Amino acid sequence: MTILIKLLWIAVAIAVALAAGWLFRTAAIAVSRGGLRKALRTAPLTAAFGMLVILLYILVAIFAPVIAPFAEREVVGGQFLPWEAPYILGTDNLGRDMFTRLIYGARNTVGIAFMTTALAFAIGSILGLLAATVGGWMDQFLSRVVDILMAIPSLIFSLLLLTIFGTSVVTLILVIATIDSTRVFRLARSVAQDIVVMDYIEAAKLRGEGLWRLITREILPNAMAPLVAEFGLRFCFVFLMISALSFLGVGVQPPTADWGSMVRENAALITFGDVTPLLPAGAIALLTVAVNFVVDWMLHRASGLKE
């Protein structure tokens, strides 16, 4: 009977998610125009649900001070208070409101992950496109450096660098962006190598186009679809990496609210059957699944495949 009840709850949750995705897609189609409306009409319900979740996370991150009932670092009561008013999700190991910390965690964790992914893409895509376009010794040198960096497990490498250079937010962003840019470099270089042999690239070279113009006007627009899809996947990996490092104590440092560190700080409650530590873990999992739903749809559209 217990298994049947759990399966029923899972079925209800899936039905609610699909219904929310359908409502969001209908509303988005109604307010959009042109090519965006056409694209949204073909979007599956999973992608619509993913877009809805991403939008909600963005709104929560932006309006965190308005939504949160308390300050991010404010101690409002005793330790590990139960779920009751005014602490609707209880309090943590220091007596801070869990609901408030979850909201601010959206701003900190997601914001840091987005900035890190953007920096990783700026570094990796520029160097990858440059290596494929110039070729020769530059391609060989950059590729061998990337091979060396990728040979070291990313989590171990991150732990080592953060231990050496410190655990400030700026250092965290720079370290993870540098490590993750190696994956972006490989993709950008691979895609660009298939483009630089095209006839229109040769024609642009014969017209006397400079290197920068050749990359930005001819190669990058034709490599944009796989790079945009990869951005979503890289964001998921960076997001999980930051959460893992915070859980291990070398990521985002207290008292800044972060979902990874929140799981570690309240892990003792699991022993007593309290699901509070699973709330930040669930927030991490939900956003990861949502982004993957959207990325899958974008990859399907970029591939040109039909249903």
Unique residue bearing structure tokens 């997601």: 110
- The average pLDDT across 268-284 equals 84
Contact 91/97 with Cβ under 8 angstroms? yes
Of the chain, the percentage scoring pLDDT greater than 70 comes to 96
Residue 149 covered by a domain = yes
What's the pTM value of the predicted model, to 2 decimals? 0.86
In one-letter notation, the amino acid at residue 305 is L
pLDDT at 305: 46
Query: What confidence category does residue 303 fall into, taking pLDDT thresholds of 50, 70 and 90?
Result: low
Number of domains in the chain: 1
Tokens of 45: 């319900």
Residue 71 covered by a domain = no
Distance CA(129)–CA(121), nearest Å, equals: 11
Query: Measuring CA to CA, which residue among 112, 151, 145 is closest to residue 127?
Result: 145
Residue 73 covered by a domain = no
Which residues fall within 8 angstroms of residue 123, CB to CB, at 6 or more apart? 177, 178, 181, 184, 185
The pLDDT tens digits of the residues spanning 142-184 come to 999 999 988 888 888 888 888 888 888 889 999 999 999 999 9
- Which of 5-9, 49-53, 191-195 shows the lowest per-residue confidence on average (mean pLDDT)? 5-9
Of the chain, the percentage scoring pLDDT greater than 90 comes to 15
Residue 290 covered by a domain = yes
Contact 156/175 with Cβ under 8 angstroms? no
Residue 190 covered by a domain = yes
Residue 284 covered by a domain = yes
The pLDDT tens digits of the residues spanning 59-118 come to 998 998 899 888 888 888 888 888 887 888 888 888 888 899 999 988 888 888 999 999
- Give whole-number Cα distances, 109 to 66, 241, 256, 260, 294, in Å: 18, 11, 10, 8, 20
Query: What confidence category does residue 123 fall into, taking pLDDT thresholds of 50, 70 and 90?
Result: very high
pLDDT at 236: 87
Residue 232's CATH number: 1.10.3720.10
Residue 17 covered by a domain = no
Give the largest CA-CA distance in the chain.
Answer: 74
Residue 11 covered by a domain = no
**Strand, helix or coil at 93?**
coil
Residue 120 has pLDDT above 90, yes or no: yes
Q: What is the DSSP letter of 250?
A: S
The overall average pLDDT reported for the chain is 85
Domain of 200? Answer: 102-303
Unique residue bearing structure tokens 């609210």: 257
pLDDT at 141: 92
Q: Of 92-101, 196-205, 213-222, which one has max mean pLDDT?
A: 92-101
Contact 243/283 with Cβ under 8 angstroms? no
Higher-pLDDT residue of 5 and 305 is 5
- The average pLDDT across 283-293 equals 89
Query: Measuring CA to CA, which residue among 85, 94, 53 is closest to residue 268?
Result: 94
